[in-house]
Amino acid sequence: MPDWFTHVLIGLIIAEVFNVRKKSLILIGAIIPDILPKLVLLRLFTPIPEVSYAAFKAFHTPFVIFLAILLIAPLFRYDYKKVVALISIGALSHLLADAALRHFAGGVRLLYPLSMTKYSFGLFWPNESFIIMVPLFAIYCVIMARKYRNGNPAG
């Protein structure tokens, strides 16, 4: 998806459904694969050098982002395995959601480094993510309403 709002909603739903205490770790994972690849959007404001940005795109593959997560996790003074697991779950949700999108010749290299094949389920164009964003927002509201009704909003 082009929008982090949908990715963050997916992350929040996962965090609420599984009663994750550190929700921000899943949310960081849900946006982390986009941080470097989306730097090219700076072209909207200023010309950027016309060089290959392929190295940034590497972070949009499960293998590379997992390695990056292994390196980031020690920054947190918390259970290392939990940090890695929660950020990884968020990142995986991001990559699978992106694989749902339609492109002319795009997709997510889910199996890199085993294969350079791009996978795309071609369900809808990235700008049509409202189709999924609105129902996800409704699902999130229902989950939160139920939690408040049961007196357990923190999860």
The contact set with other proteins (CB under 8 A) reads 2-5, 7-8, 22-24, 27-28, 30-31, 41, 43, 46-48, 50, 52, 54-55, 57-58, 61, 63-64, 67-68, 70-71, 74-78, 103-106, 112-113, 116, 125-127, 129-130, 133
* DSSP structure string for 91-124: HHHHHHHHHTB--SS--B-TTTTT----B----B
Is residue 76 exposed (0-12), middle (13-18) or buried (19+ Cβ within 10 Å)?
middle
The answer to whether 87 touches 68, Cβ cutoff 8 Å, is no
Which of 27, 42, 37 is CA-nearest to residue 140? 27
